[in-house]
């Protein structure tokens, strides 16, 4: 199961809207085939492994429940492929909320022994974006920021806007490489003109995340780098943005979303619902401070990636959260600390959403 989880992690984020799954065929205590879910429309992990070896009498380990037939399905059901291949036993880490136990029941009805739960916690952790999207129809939100030791995100008056070193920058691009979308506010585009692309190892990734910009008033230039070819762009705005600006944004190939604007802010829950309807399961919010504080204040952040750099920026510093932001204390859960010299990445969950307690099946009798 550890090898199946490793295979699943190797394709994380590249299979949406399908979940990223790993599968391993075993005979006589030896692995005879491995499989991982292909990009959408391609084979699932189980089918990929079954295609590589004679599975008669073998055991199959998979990180998520095998699928069953349903209207509009684009690939053959894995449960049927497992039965046809003559697999002896299937070990499943986690039930798929989209399948709901039907895959396991189908295997058992065909006389295949099925065990459930081995690696469940690790599989649920790996699949957090998919599970949230399936449960709520909303993307899994990661708040990412870099701060100095005195809690600032930069000191533009002193010419300091980029805080972290090469190791941390590379780590950021590895995360961009697997998520479905990246979000910033208009202030970040105006100040930094970012490309918002994934460039792990310094080269543009083949698959680029959707770029999302919040711009209620229509302030960013249609010539900004965020509109460069290579990835879809979504601009969320309000009814107050100028019609000519809207037309110019559309001509750059971007999709335009008009959101409600209660109390002067774009309605973020409305935005997330729309992104979820577009099969965006994971979203990194990169700022700036006003956007980050809005997501925290609305309790929409699921995970935090805080890059801490050994600098003190002093009086010229721009704080991470604007003064007066009405946020209660937040204690992260399941915290990990990753050294990225000279910086440190602190990761943890906010607890605003947790993987659901998926239904369990009665043991096989």
Known catalytic residues are 46
Q: Are 259 and 266 in contact (CB under 8 A)?
A: yes
In angstroms, rounded to a whole number, what is the distance separating the alpha carbons of residues 78 and 47? 6
H-state helical runs in 38-98: 45-50, 78-85
Count CB-CB contacts under 10 A for residue 41: 9
The H-or-E segment that residue 139 falls in is: none
In angstroms, rounded to a whole number, what is the distance separating the alpha carbons of residues 142 and 119? 24
Q: Are 46 and 39 in contact (CB under 8 A)?
A: no
In angstroms, rounded to a whole number, what is the distance separating the alpha carbons of residues 193 and 177? 20
Residue with tokens 């577009």: 278
Give yes or no for a cis peptide into 17 (omega within 30° of 0): yes
- DSSP-assigned states of every residue in 19-34: PP-EEEEEETTEEEEE
């Amino acid at each position: 199961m550890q090898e199946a989880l490793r295979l699943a992690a190797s394709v994380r984020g590249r299979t949406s809207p399908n979940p990223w799954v790993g599968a391993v065929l075993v005979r006589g205590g030896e692995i005879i085939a491995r499989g991982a879910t292909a990009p959408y429309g391609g084979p699932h992990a189980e089918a990929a492994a079954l295609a590589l070896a004679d599975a008669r009498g073998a055991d199959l380990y998979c990180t998520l429940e095998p699928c069953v037939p349903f209207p509009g399905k684009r690939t053959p059901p894995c449960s049927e492929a497992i039965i046809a291949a003559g697999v002896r036993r299937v070990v499943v880490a986690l039930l798929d909320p989209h399948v709901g136990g039907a895959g396991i029941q189908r295997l058992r009805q065909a006389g295949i022994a099925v065990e459930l739960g081995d690696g469940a916690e690790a599989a649920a952790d790996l699949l957090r974006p998919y599970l949230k999207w399936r449960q709520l129809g909303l993307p899994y939100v990661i708040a990412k920021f870099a701060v100095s030791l005195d809690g600032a995100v930069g000191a533009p008056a002193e010419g300091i806007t980029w805080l972290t070193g090469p190791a941390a920058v590379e780590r950021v691009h590895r995360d961009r490489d697997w998520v479905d979308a990246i979000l910033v506010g208009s202030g970040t585009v105006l100040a930094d003109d970012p490309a918002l692309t994934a460039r792990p190892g310094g080269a543009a990734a083949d698959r680029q995340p959707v770029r999302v910009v919040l711009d209620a008033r229509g302030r960013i230039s249609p010539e900004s780098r965020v509109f460069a070819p290579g990835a879809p762009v979504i601009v969320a705005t309000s009814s107050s943005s100028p019609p000519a600006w809207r037309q110019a944004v559309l001509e750059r190939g971007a999709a335009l979303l008009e959101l409600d604007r209660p109390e002067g802010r774009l309605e973020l829950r409305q935005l997330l619902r729309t992104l979820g309807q577009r099969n965006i399961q994971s979203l990194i919010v990169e700022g700036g401070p006003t956007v980050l504080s809005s997501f925290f204040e609305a309790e929409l952040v699921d995970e935090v990636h805080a890059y801490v750099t050994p600098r003190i920026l002093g009086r010229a510093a721009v704080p991470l959260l604007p003064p007066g932001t009405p946020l209660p204390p937040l204690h992260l859960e399941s915290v990990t600390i990753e050294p990225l010299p000279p910086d440190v990445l602190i990761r943890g969950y906010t607890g605003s959403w947790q993987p659901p307690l998926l239904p369990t099946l009665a043991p096989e009798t």
